[in-house]
Structure 1
Amino acid sequence: MKYISTRGNVEAKGFIDTVLMGLADDGGLMVPSEIPVVSAAELEEWRTLSYQELFLKIFSYYTNDEIPYEDLKEMAYTSYGNFRAPEVTPVRKLSDSLYVLELFHGPTFAFKDVALQFMGELYSYISRKQNKIIHILGATSGDTGAAAIQGVRGKEGIKICILHPHGKVSRVQELQMTTVDDSNVLNLSVHGNFDDCQKVIKDLFADLDFKSKYHLRAINSINFVRILAQTVYYFYAYLHVEGSAGKKINISVPSGNFGNIFSGYLAKKMGLPLGKLIIATNENNILERFVNTGEYKPGDFTSTYSPSMDIQVASNFERYLYYLTGEDSGKLSSYMAALQSEGKITIDGTDLEQVQTDFAALGVKNQQCLDTIGKYQNEFGYLLDPHTACGIAAYEAFNGEGEIGITFATAHPAKFDEAIALIDIKQEFPAQIAALFAMPQHQTVVEHDKEAVVRELKAFYGNEGSVR
């Protein structure tokens, strides 16, 4: 297995080099040169596997034996050993047609833990084996930052800097990041929105001299390993739905940056027989507009009750577009150039028909989000966070008669109590979250300017060279 760039101007890489590259050096995103297909017989054999065993089966297709099996096994079991649920991502049945995959049982109570606990172990492993410093740089709309920091805090040979939009994440999300006082962690609170933060990150990774000098590595879903790790729980969800024989299984996914839903697209290409992949978003509905009209055009930014999806430029969209063009790097590059010069991408005809075959999408308004939270609390005694509520609303819109829907619960409701409180629901915070409010914060507030961020990074990195 080799990995190539969506834009076609990077020499094929192995697994570890792909991990370390993150954003491709030509500005594209790394993808496998071919996608392995799991047979129906093999899929059936996987039903009895634990989450960790399933993880190892899927990753074995992609690692090229660059990591000895026992080392990969140790990383997998260490990564998921601190999850509060022994199943890692338990499947909860709410009705005969609706299941919820709970992805919030990791240390920061959000789905990002599932991939980032492993990525922290993987980066630490690579740092030790290659005796190299790793400087992780990422942007977050709320959950990635906390999960990434938790995954690498205190680890030797690794420093991490996370940019988050100042005042535009939930209070708990902010505290989970900024109450960490480890010397290898830097939090930059950026005046602007998530797209502003992400643009700075992409500009820095595109500066190949700076990227090389300071050993920058990606933790965001621009890194293919994030996508691959998330693919595992699509398989897990499908394999753990009761009474699904002969029924179509749809999955509804709260999505802002297109990474989580693209993991499902990858799972389908690997042979997982899913029905609809349903994109749930909010008023920042660029993905809904693309699916319905074929126009991908960033609009005006809106703050919502589901802030982790307050995104207008979906970084992983390029990966999907690459496959939509038939893996034509030239055509893909033309689309991305048009986005840069004209501010939009437009597709039509058979390509649009394919998009609408691959996905359904719904932009959920703030009030509908709150109404859904109240409805499911009253009818099922099940408290949804606002992002999961968007996923449930999209499930209700698109799940057909006799079909089964699985909605991903991407965060614990305690992370978004500002929204929950609006409908007079009082929740009891988990002890780990309640403790955050008494802790001091550590963050630096900066403008959304590349040079301002560079100054902070240079001070943080110091004069460290390439060898520890």
Structure 2
Amino acid sequence: MKYISTRGQAPTLNFEDVLLTGLASDGGLYVPETLPQFSLDEIRAMRELPYNELAFKIVQPFVGGCIADADLKAIIDDTYGSFAHKAVAPVTQIDHNEYVLELFHGPTLAFKDFALQLLGRLLDHVLEKRQERVVIMGATSGDTGSAAIEGCKRCNNIDIFILHPHNRVSEVQRRQMTTIEGDNIYNIAIEGNFDDAQAMVKASFGDQGFLRGERRLVAVNSINWARIMAQIVYYFYASLNLGGPDRKMSYSVPTGNFGDIFAGYLAKRMGLPIDQLVIATNRNDILHRLISTGIYKKEALEHTLSPSMDIVVSSNFERMLFDLYDRDGNVLADLMQRMNNETVELDADKLAKARELYSSAAADDEVTSKVISDVFNDTGYLLDPHTAIGVHAARTTRWNKDVPMITLGTAHPVKFAPAIEKAGLASPELPHHLADLFERDERYTVLPAELTTVQSFIADHVFG
């Protein structure tokens, strides 16, 4: 399996190099040159597989021999053996033909665990083989940070720096990041928003001079292809548990950086019968506005009850645009430059193609709270605010009620007490392994949203 950049000017890489590269040298994102394909018979034969064995079937073609099958299988078995639920990603019914795919049974109670627990183990394996030490730099709107630290803390060959927007993540999210012990773990609270943090990460990958040529940066954000690859699996798993592939499924996906729903698009292209993919956003609704109007226009980021979706610049949308624009790297490079600096209108044929692939809806905090309350009163099932937005989008855009609609349950509600309480409900207790979270010591540094200041902090701690 070979990987190419969305902007067409970076070297073609194999999986191992893509794992360690993150952002391409031309500023683009790596995608597979071709996608593995599964026939309906091949998918049907996967029905009885537990999650870890299904994951091996889906992931193995992407790795392309860079990691021996036996080693890859052991890594995957170890990854999903750490989840709290035997099913790993159980499906819960909340209405007739309406389901929640629970993706919050990993160690940090969010869907990011599916990719980042695997990514950490893949990095450990590859870096040990190469005898190389690297610097991980990532930005988080709440869940990526703790999942990345938890997934990578065991690796002896990394120093990890996670940037989060100061006072703009939930307390549980912050404490999950800042209470993990380790001499190689650094949490930086940026006096800005997530987009500021993400921009600094991208700029640092573009110019790594602050690391003196002695280390390389590795990405844990969903610009890292391995993140997307791991998320494809649970679309297959949910379908197979509800009668797929002999009937189609629809999915509603709470969307911030577009990685999770892009994985669903790839699952469809790989042969999984999917009827509808729904983009669910909060008030920071740039993707919904784009699908609705064809206009890509940045607006000021707002702080909401669903902080993991408080994002304006959705990095992975570039991967989607690459396909919409017929994989023409030169055209895409020009488009991305314009989208970063001005309001852009998609070509009519590209917009039509996007609307064939996606529906979309947005929900403000009032709607989010009402959905949490309504679903709890109807079923006794408690949604976190991001999943509630997914349920709202599913119900308002659904075009075929005979097709099962699966909302991705992206986080445990205990992580978002203010949203639960605003819905008039009591926040649940922390799971046993996090019961003492509020008693643990925190470690983080508050820095201004200045690139040179952040890079100097990283260099001082890597080389000091």
The two structures have a TM-score, normalised by structure 1, of 0.96
1:350 aligns with 2:349: yes
The CA distance in 2 between the partners of 1:85 and 1:428, in whole Å, is 17
Partner secondary structure for residue 239 of structure 2: helix
Is contact 1:370-1:423 (8 Å) kept? yes
Q: Deviations over 1:121-148 (max 9, x none)?
A: 0111111100000211100000000000
User: Structure 1 residue 19: deviation in Å?
Assistant: 0.7
1:377 aligns with 2:376: yes
Is contact 1:92-1:99 (8 Å) kept? yes
The CA distance in 1 between the partners of 2:70 and 2:245, in whole Å, is 35
Equivalent residue letter for 1:348:
D
User: Structure 1 residue 68: deviation in Å?
Assistant: 0.4
The CA distance in 1 between the partners of 2:416 and 2:371, in whole Å, is 15
User: 1:3-402, aligned counterparts within 5 Å?
Assistant: 3-210=3-210, 212-242=213-243, 247-341=247-341, 343-399=342-398, 400-402=400-402
Partner secondary structure for residue 167 of structure 2: coil
Cα-Cα RMSD: 1.3
Is contact 2:208-2:217 (8 Å) kept? no
Partner secondary structure for residue 115 of structure 2: helix
Partner secondary structure for residue 169 of structure 2: coil
User: Structure 1 residue 439: deviation in Å?
Assistant: 1.1
Partner secondary structure for residue 327 of structure 1: coil
Equivalent residue letter for 1:357:
E
User: Structure 1 residue 316: deviation in Å?
Assistant: 0.4
Q: Deviations over 1:354-396 (max 9, x none)?
A: 1111101111111110000000110011000000000000111
User: Structure 1 residue 213: deviation in Å?
Assistant: 3.4
The CA distance in 1 between the partners of 2:236 and 2:435, in whole Å, is 33
User: Structure 1 residue 246: deviation in Å?
Assistant: 6.1
Is contact 2:84-2:106 (8 Å) kept? yes
Identity %: 43
Is contact 2:208-2:216 (8 Å) kept? no
- In the alignment, structure 2 segments of 5+ residues that lack a partner are none
The CA distance in 2 between the partners of 1:150 and 1:299, in whole Å, is 33
Is contact 2:245-2:272 (8 Å) kept? no
Is contact 2:44-2:245 (8 Å) kept? no
Q: Deviations over 1:229-274 (max 9, x none)?
A: 00111111111115x6765421000000001011111111111110
Equivalent residue letter for 1:372:
V
Is contact 2:239-2:245 (8 Å) kept? no
Partner secondary structure for residue 312 of structure 1: coil
1:466 aligns with none
2:446 aligns with 445
The CA distance in 2 between the partners of 1:345 and 1:107, in whole Å, is 40
Is contact 1:154-1:184 (8 Å) kept? no
User: Structure 1 residue 434: deviation in Å?
Assistant: 3.2
Is contact 1:175-1:436 (8 Å) kept? yes
The CA distance in 2 between the partners of 1:94 and 1:199, in whole Å, is 38
Partner secondary structure for residue 196 of structure 1: helix
Partner secondary structure for residue 232 of structure 2: helix
The CA distance in 2 between the partners of 1:233 and 1:247, in whole Å, is 17
Q: Deviations over 1:70-99 (max 9, x none)?
A: 100110011111100111111112233101
Is contact 1:154-1:183 (8 Å) kept? no
Equivalent residue letter for 1:358:
L
Equivalent residue letter for 1:356:
R
Is contact 1:258-1:316 (8 Å) kept? yes
Is contact 1:154-1:182 (8 Å) kept? no
1:409 aligns with 409
- In the alignment, structure 1 segments of 5+ residues that lack a partner are 464-468
Equivalent residue letter for 1:217:
V
The CA distance in 2 between the partners of 1:424 and 1:432, in whole Å, is 27
Partner secondary structure for residue 250 of structure 1: strand
Is contact 1:172-1:433 (8 Å) kept? no
Equivalent residue letter for 1:144:
T
